[in-house]
Chains A and B, each alone.
Chain A
Amino acid sequence: MAKVKGDIFVDIEKCKGCELCLVACPQDSLALSDKINKKGYHYMVRIKDNCTGCINCALVCPEGIIKVYRKVGKKKEHVATVSNVTKDMTMEVN
């Protein structure tokens, strides 16, 4: 499998430091920053570079403030563009 690299972008001012994303991340690459945001919450930051863009953190985030990016390595030719993964979760009902 081509090396998949992912990253996240967090709207840290809206994070409430609930830590649910920390336990949801299979790569254990998230933690709470020592710093606090305007509301006084320690916000979440990515502290390792092993993110695979699996979107678990974004799924469990009650504030809906995590954007997830995923880049499939160039070695393999382009297999599929994943425009918006939430799309292929649509299910056909017969």
Chain B
Amino acid sequence: MSENTQLEIEEQNFLEEDICVKENLVFDRTQALTDVEMHYCPGCGHGVAHRIIMEVVDEMGIQDKTIGVAPVGCSVFAYNYMNIDMQEAAHGRASAVATGIKRVLPDKFVFSYQGDGDLAAIGTGETVHTVNRGENILIVFINNAVYGMTSGQMAPTTLEGMVTTTSPYGRDPKIMGYPLKIADLIAPLPGAYYVTRQAVNNAGNVRKAKKAIQKSFEYQKLNKGLCFVEIVSNCPSNWKMTPVESNKFVEEKLFPFYPLGDIKVPKEIK
């Protein structure tokens, strides 16, 4: 009995023979994700980011040695989806919580998963000092240039001229300051071992982002210090766009200001 039968037959073009059988399976949902349905809006990059982190945790066989920290923001419910031990942190404080965990459990893998408001507004102090201490953790930073959970306010990374509920006439730097390139701000700190900016807006970038996360966990295993993976992502609902349009906006508007690629790569690896 192939797994495909419960679909109404007329929906799927019937192939002469059925491909969907066990031995042909080449991509499946990682068991490191729970099967709880995610609450994220249709097309939101969080879902992909969650998945590639958990795929890496699964493939490296460290599901029993990884602790995640997710603070306030759209991803505050990450612990419902990531099938690992997790702590939910106060807004802006995830990297301090992660520091506390890593210091007492140095042989475990620890990562924080934070949004732009969390990491680059209220938590800037914690971000800078956690990086400056070279904490041996991974910080995954989802930059979608808006406060998603509270429905669309301006974030530190909101672009000049970008309309949000708290910059309804477009962000005016003279009043609201400039968009903050936090990755470039922390990269020069000696504690930062690997700093890169990735995206999940198309298959190619998803592959690269996953590789960056994989490298970060490998570096963490080798006690190399703080790894920082920024994922420039979309927010269809609050940008008032369809998911497909939002990914175009990411490409046309966010990438020019937040260029993708490694910002700081360890010397000996180059």
A and B touch in the complex (CB under 8 A): yes
Evaluate contact between A67 and B202: CB separation under 8 angstroms: no
A19 to B245, CA, bound (A): 10
In the complex, chain A residues whose CB is within 8 Å of the CB of B269: 93-94
Evaluate contact between B55 and A18: CB separation under 8 angstroms: no
Evaluate contact between A70 and B24: CB separation under 8 angstroms: yes
Residue pairs across A and B with Cβ atoms less than 8 A apart, 8 shown, are A7-B18, A18-B43, A18-B244, A20-B244, A24-B202, A56-B203, A60-B200, A68-B25
Q: Which residues of A contact B (CB under 8 A)?
A: 5-9, 12, 14, 16-20, 22-24, 33, 35, 41, 45-49, 53, 55-56, 58-71, 81-82, 84-87, 89-91, 93-94
Partner of B20, one of A23, A41, A67: A67
Evaluate contact between B59 and A46: CB separation under 8 angstroms: no
A6 to B60, CA, bound (A): 27
Evaluate contact between B27 and A66: CB separation under 8 angstroms: yes
Evaluate contact between A85 and B27: CB separation under 8 angstroms: yes
Partner of A7, one of B15, B44, B200: B15
Evaluate contact between B59 and A9: CB separation under 8 angstroms: no
Evaluate contact between B11 and A45: CB separation under 8 angstroms: yes
B249 located at the interface, meaning its Cβ lies under 8 Å from any Cβ of chain A in the complex = no
Evaluate contact between A5 and B19: CB separation under 8 angstroms: yes
Evaluate contact between B211 and A91: CB separation under 8 angstroms: yes
Evaluate contact between B210 and A89: CB separation under 8 angstroms: yes
B166 located at the interface, meaning its Cβ lies under 8 Å from any Cβ of chain A in the complex = no
**Most chain B beta-carbon neighbours within 10 Å: one of A35, A48, A68, A69:** A69
Shortest distance from the beta carbon of B245 to any chain A beta carbon, whole Å: 10
B265 located at the interface, meaning its Cβ lies under 8 Å from any Cβ of chain A in the complex = no
In the complex, chain A residues whose CB is within 8 Å of the CB of B201: 60
Shortest distance from the beta carbon of B193 to any chain A beta carbon, whole Å: 12
B158 located at the interface, meaning its Cβ lies under 8 Å from any Cβ of chain A in the complex = no
In the complex, chain B residues whose CB is within 8 Å of the CB of A89: 59, 207, 210-211, 214
Evaluate contact between A63 and B19: CB separation under 8 angstroms: no
A90 to B211, CA, bound (A): 8
Evaluate contact between A69 and B26: CB separation under 8 angstroms: yes
Extra contacts, 6 of them, besides A18-B243, A19-B244, A41-B42 (Cβ < 8 A), are A5-B15, A18-B42, A53-B24, A62-B45, A67-B3, A67-B27
Shortest distance from the beta carbon of B36 to any chain A beta carbon, whole Å: 10
Evaluate contact between B214 and A91: CB separation under 8 angstroms: yes
Partner of B19, one of A12, A19, A70: A70
**Most chain A beta-carbon neighbours within 10 Å: one of B28, B200, B207, B211:** B28
Instruction: List B residues 31-45 near A (Cβ within 8 Å).
Output: 33, 37-38, 40-45
In the complex, chain A residues whose CB is within 8 Å of the CB of B202: 24, 60
Instruction: List B residues 1-26 near A (Cβ within 8 Å).
Output: 3-4, 7, 11-13, 15, 18-21, 23-26
In the complex, chain B residues whose CB is within 8 Å of the CB of A67: 3, 20, 25, 27-29
A45 to B14, CA, bound (A): 13
**Chain A residue at minimum C-beta to C-beta distance from B23:** A81
Partner of B219, one of A9, A41, A93: A93
B48 located at the interface, meaning its Cβ lies under 8 Å from any Cβ of chain A in the complex = yes
In the complex, chain B residues whose CB is within 8 Å of the CB of A12: 7
With A41-B42, A60-B202, A62-B43 given, is the CB distance from A71 to B19 under 8 Å? yes
Shortest distance from the beta carbon of A24 to any chain B beta carbon, whole Å: 5
Evaluate contact between B28 and A84: CB separation under 8 angstroms: yes
In the complex, chain A residues whose CB is within 8 Å of the CB of B203: 24, 55-56, 59-60
